[in-house]
Every structure is written in C-alpha cells, then in structure tokens.
Chains A and B, each alone.
Chain A
Amino acid sequence: MNAIYHSVSYGAGAAVIALLAGYLATSIIFNRRKTPVLASFQDVVVSVPPGIPPVIFGLGLLLVFAYGPVRLYGTPWPIVILYATIILPFATRLQLVAMTGMGTNLMEAGAASGAGLFRRAFRIQLPLIRPAIGYTVALAFVLASVEFSGSLLLRTGNTQVMGTQLYDLYEFGSYPLTAVMAVIMCLVTGTGVSIAILIGGPGVLRQQVR
C-alpha cells in the first residue's frame, strides 16, 4: 500500500513541479523576441533530459543528495526531482504547442482590456492550455509508473514505489504477489490517466494529434 501511495503522490508532485517549471520555460521560449539568448538557452536545457538515461539522473541525484551538502537521500525528494526532470521536456513542449496554437492576440486582447499578467494567465491562458495541462498530468502518471532504473537507485526502505516494490517481490520469489502488484500498477496508472483526462477536458486526447 505504501508503494502505491508513494507512486501516486510522487507522480502528482512531479507533475506539479514540471507543469510550473514548464510553464515558466514555455513563457520564456514563446516570447523569444524579447529575450532571444535566454529563450535559446532555455530551449536547450529542457531538450536535454530525454537524451540522458534515467539511471544516469538517478546516479547523479544519489551522489548529490547522499554525499553532497544537502542530505535528502531517504526522503521522497530525490525521486520526485527525478520524475519532474523526466516529465519537464514533455510538459514544456506540450504547453508550448498549446500556446503557439493560441497565438499572441488573445493575450494581447487581455492586456488591452486592462488585465494584468496574473489575471491574463489565470483567466485566459490557463483555461485555453488546459488540454495540454491534462495531457501532461496523464503523461506524468505513465512516466512515473514505468520509470524503474533511476527509482531503483534512489529508493530506500520507506520510499518504495510500485516499480521497485514489484522488483523486490519478484527477487524474493513471491510470484503471485508480483502478479497482483503488476495488475495494481496498471489500475493505478489507468486511474491517474483518467483523472488527468477529466482535468484536461475533452481536448486532451486530441492533443496527441496536433
């Protein structure tokens, strides 16, 4: 049960972090004309993670948080940061595609109507990129569930996730429990994706086609 709870909560936490960081990165990249150098740098930074195996991230986070000045090993944070790093490129690209599809006129119209930055973001932009947000959350659950190698390096006794728990059960020879765990993983992941689709609204699934 703890593994299920950890997987869901770490995935949700990572999704929130990735969405916020992705929104910030997207805003910088989208307004490339104003800050071209920063936008290009940001673009490269968020494009790097898919090219690095998660086990390398896991190893790096292990060394930093187990032996560095900030000792977070044994807490959920290394795993949450690992998941957020994996999800971030997708969160950024999906939001960027959504913002590009929106164009600039809608936000300009908001500004011309007297709305400040936060009002424009909450009343205009976020509702319109909601499908992208929903799809990112759905993707977060999927990626968090399938991620194994990095999680294996970072988990401890009290930060097990579903994937590492399933591995342990298999290694100990508890094959019926392993099968049950596998089914539960599918159910949890599917439920998370369904909730994300509800968050994103009817346009979430069409997001894949755009």
Chain B
Amino acid sequence: MADIVVQALSKQFGNRKGVLRAVDNVSVHVAEGELLVLLGPSGCGETTALRCVAGLENPDSGSIRFGEQVVYDRGLGRNVPIHRRDIGFTFQNYALWPHMKAYDNVRFPLRARGISASESVKRVREVAALLDLRGDLLEKHPGQLSGGQQQRVAPARALVAEPSVVLFDEPLSNLDARLREQLRLELRSLHRRVGFTGVYVTHDLAEALALGDRIAVMREGRIVQVGAPAEVFEHPLHVSTARLLGLRRISSISNAAGPWRTTAGGVVLGDLPAGRSDGVHELLAYTDKVRLRGIGEPTSGEVHVHGGVIEQLTEAVTHFQVVLAMGSERVRLSQEKDRLGPLREGESVVIDAPRSAIHLFDPEGGALGVPQAAGIKAEAATPILAE
C-alpha cells in the first residue's frame, strides 16, 4: 500500500462552444491505509478527479504521486500509463467482462502482472472469501449474476492483486436501497480488514459518512472542505456544503437594523455568531432537530425564530409534513406526531432549535461561528497540500 499525494491538479474540457474546468487546482493527501471519500453533487468534478488519479484522464497540470512513485507530473513531463500505475478500480457499472467467468474476471489482474497459476488460485480464493463469493458464483458469467453479486466480483477484481491504491467510482449507485446499505457495511468492514489506501467517489451522504475515514467535499471542481465525517457533518464551511449534507434553509436573516430578524420581520433570538452588518445571511438547520412551538409555549432550545405561520399540514404515518410560511419564504420540515402538539394550519409558531442544529452563513455563503478545531480545513487559496 502507498499514500496518495495530489498537488494542484487541474483538468478542463473544451470545444468551440466553451471551456469547462472540471477539476480546478485540487490538492489532497490520502494517508496510507486511509479511505478518502470525495462527496459532491453531480457535475462537481469528483469522477474526473478520480479518473485523473487513475490515469484514465490526462490532467492539464499538477502532479500525482503514489508513495515514492510519481505517476503524473506536468512539469516533469511524466505520465505513467494506467496499466503501470498498480491500481485497482471499481466502476459504477462494474465493467465485468461478459465473455469471462467471474473467476477469470477476478484472476485477470494477476495474469496481467505475470503471477503464477498456483499463486493466482490461492489469491482468488482469499479475496473471494473476503467478499463472500461463495459456492459456484465464480463459475458463472457476469450475465448470470445479480447486481449485488456483480458488485462483489468488481471489488474482488480490484483488490486481488493487492494494488498500491484502490479507486471506487460510485460502485453502489446502481443498486437498490436495501442492497446499498448492506454492501456499504461490507465495504467498510472490508477496508478495516484489508487496510487498503483508497479514494471513493459518491453523491450519497449516508455512504460518505459510513465509509470515509475522511470526507473531501467538492464543488465546481474544487475541494471546499476536508475532514472526518463527524466534523464535516457538524461544521459545514459553506452553504452549498450544508445543503449537500441535508441542512434546510429556515430563513434569510439580517442584523442591519440591530437584532437578527428574518426578512419577514420575525425576531431571531438566541446564541448566534456576530454577522456582517451588510447583506442578507442564511440560517440553515437540521430540521429533524427543530421543534415548532405555539406562541407562548415554553421552549427548550437555544435559538428561537419567530414569525412563522403553518401554511400546510399533511399527515403521514408517524409524522407531519409541515410547510411553514416565513413571509414570502417557505420552509418544509417534518415533525413527529408526538412533538407537534395541538398546532394547526394558520397558527403562528416559533421555531425552537438547539444551537448545534443551527448554522449561519454570510452573504458569500461562508459559515459563521465555526470553531477552529483540528481537522476542519477549508480549501487553501494557494495550491498547498490540504490534509
């Protein structure tokens, strides 16, 4: 195994109609044995970045190193072909060769590396056991396997040759929710047992939180935040990251005229960081942690947002779907039945939230009041290594 060092990596695609900067000055270090998850919305450049690391795309600038080996360096004119980079790669659509049995698919990297037949048999059996490929599954062709079975063969093929680096491009995205959850846990367990160095691309927040030792959030081709899953989840540094993590907008607020107020004029009380006196800030929250209280009801949280009116209340099995009118803005949230109390449509309410559920962002989208704890790093302005 090796660590991965990516420095100032950039890649753009262009034609006569324009240029798209898919990867923009990305720097990151993946420690040996670490699984780094690249998380972002579709089109943010994470797959392109992964393919650049693999050698499937030729970057425009920067450098990539696996351990001591420089596999790409624009300045040195070095670009090691993909088949010599000693990687394993799991594709979104598995990319299993249909004319080969599963056994031959898994064995292929060993044959390509000149590993002897006897050693190959041993290694294929070992990796098959790791991935629970039992019975006669290995004797079947990919077309005879289910999606979940194919999704075990694909990482088996990626891991069998014990490569320096293992790369995953949304390997679970084609599976149903139940199978995704099951395989997610198995992949996590596999990483703990094998300890490979890996980069995993996903758009799925739950997957990122479950699998990553660290998460690198990408937006518009750049890494905007890197940290442990809990740190990123609790302290998103940009409003776009916050939305990606599932925070919902409660209201736009401003303190230009003194205390914080919503754009509809409702008072916002509580322990909020000092904002800028100009411009409108955004208040976001993990809405499963907020409660709606009637006017005059006792509150329990540290932050209270006034001025909301229940516009629509839709009953589901265990909760209510609430549409809250905050002036011209609309806030959608769920409230468990036993927590909503006697509130009805048309009633004025107060949003009652613990401080930990509330996040405030300035007019440029930057987070306010984020503690400067170790591990929470924003994107560097200059291309230096971000850890």
- A residues near B, CB below 8 A? 105-106, 108-116, 119, 123-124, 127-128
Contact = CB atoms under 8 A, between A and B. Distances in A.
Interface of A is mostly: helix
A109 B95 CA distance: 6
A112 B88 contact: yes
23 contacts: A105-B93, A105-B95, A106-B95, A108-B82, A108-B89, A109-B91, A109-B95, A109-B157, A110-B112, A111-B56, A111-B83, A112-B83, A112-B88, A112-B89, A113-B109, A114-B84, A114-B109, A114-B112, A114-B113, A115-B108, A115-B112, A124-B97, A128-B98
Interface of B: 54-56, 81-84, 86-89, 91, 93, 95-99, 108-109, 112-113, 157-158, 161, 167
Given A105-B91, A105-B95, A124-B97, A112 B82 contact: yes
Contacts of B81: 111
B249 to A, nearest CB: 38
B56 A113 contact: no
Nearest to A109: B95
A115 B95 CA distance: 15
Given A115-B112, A119-B112, A109 B83 contact: no
Nearest to B114: A114
B82 A111 contact: yes
Contacts of B93: 105
Contacts of A112: 54, 56, 82-83, 87-89, 158, 167
A6 B193 CA distance: 65
Contacts of A110: 83, 97, 108, 112
Given A108-B56, A109-B96, 15 more contacts: A105-B95, A108-B89, A108-B95, A109-B91, A111-B55, A111-B82, A112-B83, A112-B87, A113-B109, A114-B84, A114-B112, A114-B113, A115-B112, A116-B112, A128-B98
A178 B337 CA distance: 94
Contacts of A109: 89, 91, 95-97, 157
B374 to A, nearest CB: 35
B99 A113 contact: no
Nearest to B88: A112
Q: Which of B81, B96, B108 has the most CB of A within 10 A?
A: B108
A108 B91 contact: yes
Nearest to A115: B112
A115 B99 CA distance: 17
A190 to B, nearest CB: 28
A9 B91 CA distance: 44
